[in-house]
Structure 1
Amino acid sequence: MLTLKQNQLLNFIILRIEKYGVSPSYEEMCEELELKSKSGINRIVKSLEERGYIERLENKARAIAPRKHPNGQTYNSDVINFKDKFINKHSHSLIKNLKPQKDQIPLFGKIAAGTPIEAISNYGEYLDVPSSFLTSEDCYALYVEGDSMIDEGIFDGDTVIIDKKTNINNGDIIVALIDNEEATLKKFRKKGDSIALEPANKNYKTQIYGPDRIVIQGKMSGLIRSYN
């Protein structure tokens, strides 16, 4: 799992490449992450490179190429030629005509990343998402409300993609339905018969429940963020 700054920078690099066909400069990265020093950006870039999320293309200015999305899915692009290691000089015009394959998934409403809120199931809305974001055919989307998961790079206003058909392990970020009434997005921990729902924000406390009170409705497999 990426840190908050790693997640933020990787999303920014992907956004700029898909919009302009070129990776952002270090000055632009500093401004986006509100850092004063390029050395701080260089450390984050190096950590992303070491973990296989990006690749720095040799002998190319401003050439940082994403290899994976923040959720770990492979990043596929018609702009970056990984085989020959260059960013296409016509990439800006290619982006305008590029029509990535997209699928529609149900948008069920809001999920609390904070105090649990009443479960919402709005089956009348659908969301277009890139096919590469989907880990199975049984995914759905939820808007995030709250800040209890910010240390995992999940912010208020984000949209999370949830996969219902997946195995759940300790440390996974899940949608938990509590007492069949309230839904929340938290990290899952199980010890014995107890289930802990852990926040990723020191201002919130871990909540412990018996297994009969929790229904797991899926595991987070992706995140979508809008930059205005």
Structure 2
Amino acid sequence: METQLTPGQKQLVDYLKSAIQRTGKAPSLRQAARDLGISHAAVSQRLKLLERKGVVRRQGRYSRTLHLIGPTGQTDGTQRWVEVPVVGRVNAGLPLYAQQEWEGSLVLDSSLYRGRNLFALRVRGNSMQGAGILEGDMAVCTPRQYAENGEIVVALVHEEEATVKRFFLHRDHVELRPENPDYPVMRYGFDEVLVQGRVVGIQRTLHSK
């Protein structure tokens, strides 16, 4: 049996579905109020009632993240997106998520990216073009401080410079190998390199070259 909604509540649900399908995330309450031509308080009240009816679920008390709930009680198919931070730089150690280091966010399909605490880093240079990673791409990473040989990682060199390279561990050094013959293989001592994440995907943006 479908949950009975008032016309106003159905209007808000339809609006949220449309916005999520179009942008990948729910709009702010102020944006919803502007688009629907109603007050901020009215949007807030309708959301509270929809929560009570089990139609939407808010992620945390103060979060803007909303989940539309389907008839089976699962998250609606339109809400399949996850928003991850684009970090301005990679810090030594985890977590990586100090807000002041963010350079915006990236919306990803959660059916393709299932890791927790994902982050993204904009690629600089073309040293990994042989692996299909180009200047300006967003490297989507899962936080990790170790790597298997041959994995593509985000590594912090000398606790300063973040680089995306293929990782190899040797008996007496760490090798960070590019995928472009124009760039040299880099070799470092064990204490000079900190793995910060494994690259699990690449998102090409309008800024990519």
**Normalised-by-shorter TM-score class:** 0.5 to 0.7
* 2:104 corresponds to 1:104: no
SS at match of 2:102: coil
- 2:9 is matched with none
Q: 1:199 aligns with which of 178, 186, 200?
A: 178
CA–CA distance in 2 between the matches of 1:197 and 1:203? 14
CA–CA distance in 2 between the matches of 1:132 and 1:210? 38
- 2:124 is matched with 145
Which 4+ residue blocks in structure 1 deviate beyond 6 angstroms?
none
CA–CA distance in 2 between the matches of 1:190 and 1:213? 13
Count of aligned pairs between the two proteins: 122
Q: CA deviation at 1:110?
A: 6.4
CA contact (8 A) 1:135 1:163 kept: no
CA–CA distance in 1 between the matches of 2:82 and 2:188? 36
CA–CA distance in 1 between the matches of 2:115 and 2:145? 8
Q: 2:152 aligns with which of 173, 186, 190?
A: 173
Q: Which has the larger radius of gyration?
A: 2
CA 1:135/1:101 → structure 2, altered by over 3 Å: closer, same or farther?
closer
* 2:116 corresponds to 1:134: no
**1:30-69 to 2 correspondences below 5 Å:** none
> What do you get for the CA RMSD once the two structures are aligned?
2.3
CA contact (8 A) 2:121 2:138 kept: yes
CA contact (8 A) 1:196 1:209 kept: yes
Q: CA deviation at 1:153?
A: 0.5
What is the percent sequence identity of the aligned residues? 32
CA contact (8 A) 1:174 1:185 kept: yes
SS at match of 1:220: strand
**1:85-104 to 2 correspondences below 5 Å:** 99=78, 101-104=80-83
Spell out, residue by residue over 1:204-224, the C-alpha distance to the aligned partner (whole angstroms, 9 max, x if none): 000100010111000000111
Normalised TM-score (structure 1): 0.49
What is the one-letter code of the residue matched to 1:224? Q
CA contact (8 A) 1:163 1:219 kept: yes
CA–CA distance in 1 between the matches of 2:105 and 2:158? 27
Spell out, residue by residue over 1:45-66, the C-alpha distance to the aligned partner (whole angstroms, 9 max, x if none): xxxxxxxxxxxxxxxxxxxxxx
CA–CA distance in 2 between the matches of 1:181 and 1:166? 16
- 1:211 is matched with 190
Spell out, residue by residue over 1:29-75, the C-alpha distance to the aligned partner (whole angstroms, 9 max, x if none): xxxxxxxxxxxxxxxxxxxxxxxxxxxxxxxxxxxxxxxxxxxxxxx
CA–CA distance in 2 between the matches of 1:144 and 1:163? 15
Q: Is there any run of 5+ residues in structure 2 with no aligned partner, and where?
A: 1-76, 91-99
Normalised TM-score (structure 2): 0.53
CA contact (8 A) 1:135 1:221 kept: no
Q: CA deviation at 1:122?
A: 2.3
- 2:60 is matched with none
CA–CA distance in 2 between the matches of 1:196 and 1:189? 5
CA contact (8 A) 2:141 2:201 kept: yes
Spell out, residue by residue over 1:92-117, the C-alpha distance to the aligned partner (whole angstroms, 9 max, x if none): xxxxxx84510111110368xxxxxx
What is the one-letter code of the residue matched to 2:104? E
